[in-house]
Amino acid sequence: MNLDDIYNWILGHNQNYPGKHQESQPRTIASYKPLEAKAQFHIVIKATAEYIKEKMLSGNGVNMKELGAFTMEVNSDYVKPLQHSGFNMTQDLAIQRADRKHVHQIRPCFVPDNSFKYFLARYPGKEEITKPLSQHSIYQKGFGMNFCNAGPIAASCYLGKDVVQSIHNSLIKAIHDLTRLGHNLNIDFGFIKISVINRDLKYKYEQSFISRLNQTEYELKMRQSDLATSQHWTTTYQEKWSKSTLNNLLTRPDPVKVQGNYEKSMALKIILQQKVEIGFKFNINFQFQ
């Protein structure tokens, strides 16, 4: 069963998966018309995949509650002492960092949640990543972990935040139930493919995504920000949102064209209604005569 089959399963068993995802919900912008229930699943899960992908490329992981954590393992080689590494004080620091890029290697991984592990017979490694000693929380699955925030996803889909949360909860619950019932699942998020065959979980990241992840200088992510402090705090939320891939997921329609089409449709509706009323009037007079 792929994602489309899972959506049909959820919509076909509305008693087991109640919520706002079962019906078409209004959009936050009047220019967008309401979508069908299944179309809402497609657009929300696509936006969720883009959200996780964007967070991972920025050096952070994402933890979806009761599903798992999309994170990365940083494998660092031993660094030679300064007197034996050939460090040149006269050379630019950026050049020195470029020469030592091979020291840090990034391996993306997926760590299933404990509630998901309960229904699995096998999964890759009991402890696939090494948790830093400074992270004492039991919910911390990797470096720079964030919980999956439904706010940006809802804003990119022009849907309510409660609708996105309802879709996430129903999808995760359906994955648990189908795994428990022994169904084979093929969950394709675009940049990662998660398969559950005979309760055996396997995943595979796209090679293009791994290449982009390794091209990001993770060593720079671990130190202070490249931006000055004043520039960091003066950057507005609109500027940060404009650079996000979620903002470009849906193109905003032209309000002038939308209003023009609405006025034309209303004019045609009035004309047709008048013609129907005139024809009905003539038919009644003819019967009386």
Q: What angle do CA 75, 77, 63 make, to 5 degrees?
A: 15
Instruction: Tell me the average confidence (pLDDT) per consecutive run of 10 residues in the chain, 289 residues long.
Output: 92 89 86 86 92 85 88 63 54 59 70 87 65 53 75 89 92 92 91 90 88 61 48 66 69 75 84 76 52
Give the Cβ contact number of residue 194 at 10 Å: 19
**Domain boundary assignment for the chain:** 3-253, 254-289
φ, ψ (nearest 5 deg) of residue 268: -65, -35
- By residue count, the chain amounts to 289
Answer yes or no: are the C-beta atoms of 162 and 20 closer than 8 Å. yes
Counting DSSP H helices and E strands in the chain, the numbers are 11, 7
CA dihedral of residues 177, 182, 184, 185 (deg, nearest 10):
10
Strands (E), 189-256: 192-197, 200-205
pTM for this prediction: 0.70
